[in-house]
Amino acid sequence: MFTIKELTQAVGCDITPRMVRHYHDIGLLPQPARSPSNYRLYGDSDVQFLQQIVALKQQGFQLSHIQQLLSPPTKATPINEQLQRQYQSVLSQIIKLRHTATALEGMIGRDRACQSTPADALAHLQTQTAPTQTAPTQTTVQTQTVQALTDALWQHLDASTAHHPEDFQESLQQLLPDLSQRPEIEADVISHLVLACGDVSLSAFMRFSPHAVTAAREHLTRGCKIIGDIPAVVALFDQARLTHLRCESVAFLNDPHIDNATAAEQAFWQNDTWLNRLDDLIDNNIWVIGYSPSVLMKLCERVEKGARPALIIGLPLGFSHAPATKRRLVQLSGSSSNGTPHITSEGSFGGGLLAAVALNRLAASLIERPDCHCHLGR
């Protein structure tokens, strides 16, 4: 049996006795047995249960959601229905926060020529008089008034954008989190990925293995082959720079009719000859996966059996297979010097454009800064 302090030490992850007592109070953890001196006593099952709570918390689940997930499902409310309700609740919160983030980006993500505008716009908003309208209900009047004030705010803010081109680097300086702990080349790749998708939060989900940039520069310098998973990805490669580096690029699923994730998955599973092509191309080449999670999964299987691709840029699309195969890529690569160099993301972030942008920026940085050694600090 464990005391509450020994329980938290067994679980780790910064769990404290105070947190455990709180979980008891809200009913998340069952009440434990007591010693003759009235001390809480815990067993191995309590350690495992608390580890499950910690694992779900680290994945972003709120305590109320964890309580529902770890409670036995009832016939009245199957587990899938519970999860769907929780997902819709979380999605609703994300949408509200996304609206807020969009408004803040519009205010603070402005280049120098527009930076004085937000204060002026807010001052302008404060002086606005709500328009008088006759409407059927008071609610309609209020909605129209709020919309009119919102339109007036953005009209004032947007006025300055017509007089100069946007300076994206200044905007990114205002919006991106601190990337100073990353090598400059990694930070450059992430900045361009954010510009490619318009989502600043992507920066928190990108993962570079310790030797990804080093491997990319070494093999691009040698003129390695670049393998895109489908032709649409290869079409996005910066052919001028790759030609300058003497790098040939080819599509793995080299059928021009394969132009999306669904077609790529179906084609790969319907024809076993693709696996022979994979074995022929896998070693010492850079792989850029933007659509098919199954291609990335097979790459991971081959790596586990000893194959050695030069670098894997693994950013396939999908909501179940893609996150799973990205986790597998990270796990098999590990942090050792023998791990497969990779660039990937957590979750469903990905797509052919992002995968190609990552490759293109690595090639550009090699040509523009051939003697840069910032990546060697990893």
Q: Provide the residue-wise pLDDT of the chain in tens; the chain has 378 residues.
A: 888 889 999 888 888 999 999 999 988 888 888 888 888 888 888 889 899 998 888 877 788 778 877 876 665 567 677 778 878 888 898 899 888 888 888 877 777 767 665 566 566 556 655 454 455 555 555 555 667 667 777 776 777 777 778 888 888 888 899 898 898 999 999 999 999 999 999 999 999 998 999 999 999 999 999 999 999 999 999 999 999 999 999 999 999 999 999 999 999 999 989 999 999 999 999 999 999 999 999 999 999 999 999 999 999 999 999 999 999 999 886 544 468 999 999 988 899 999 999 999 999 999 999 988 776 655
Cα torsion 182, 186, 191, 192 to 10°: value is 180
**Which part of the chain has CATH 1.10.1660.10?**
4-59
Q: Are 43 and 2 in contact (CB under 8 A)?
A: yes
- Using DSSP, state whether 94 is helix, strand or coil: helix
- Using DSSP, state whether 207 is helix, strand or coil: strand
224's tokens: 């390695």
Among the residues of 159-290, which ranges form H helices?
168-175, 184-197, 212-221, 231-234, 239-244, 261-270, 273-281
Cα torsion 303, 308, 310, 312 to 10°: value is -10
The pLDDT value recorded for residue 126 is 61
Q: Are 342 and 311 in contact (CB under 8 A)?
A: yes
The second-level CATH assignment, the architecture, of 175-377 is: 3-Layer(aba) Sandwich (3.40)
Residue 142 neighbours by CB under 8 Å, 6+ apart: none
Q: Are 2 and 42 in contact (CB under 8 A)?
A: yes
Residue 197 neighbours by CB under 8 Å, 6+ apart: 349, 351, 353, 354
> Nearest Cα to 247, choosing from 329, 362, 341, 337?
362
> Nearest Cα to 1, choosing from 54, 53, 40?
40
The second-level CATH assignment, the architecture, of 4-59 is: Orthogonal Bundle (1.10)
How many helices, marked H, and strands, marked E, lie in the chain? 17, 8
Q: Are 152 and 101 in contact (CB under 8 A)?
A: no
* Strand partners for 311: 286
The pLDDT value recorded for residue 335 is 45
Regarding beta strands 226-228 and 249-251, do their DSSP bridges make them parallel or antiparallel, or are they unpaired? parallel
The pLDDT value recorded for residue 1 is 82
Q: Distances in Å between the alpha carbon of 280 and those of 36, 213, 226, 275?
A: 69, 24, 13, 9
The count of C-alpha atoms lying within 13 angstroms of the C-alpha of 154, restricted to the half-sphere facing its C-beta, is 10
The pLDDT value recorded for residue 151 is 75
205's tokens: 């989900």
> Nearest Cα to 54, choosing from 108, 91, 14?
14
Q: Are 277 and 303 in contact (CB under 8 A)?
A: no
Residue 300 burial (C-beta neighbours within 10 Å; 0-12, 13-18, 19+):
buried
Cα angle value 144/146/149 (rounded, 5°): 110
The pLDDT value recorded for residue 168 is 85
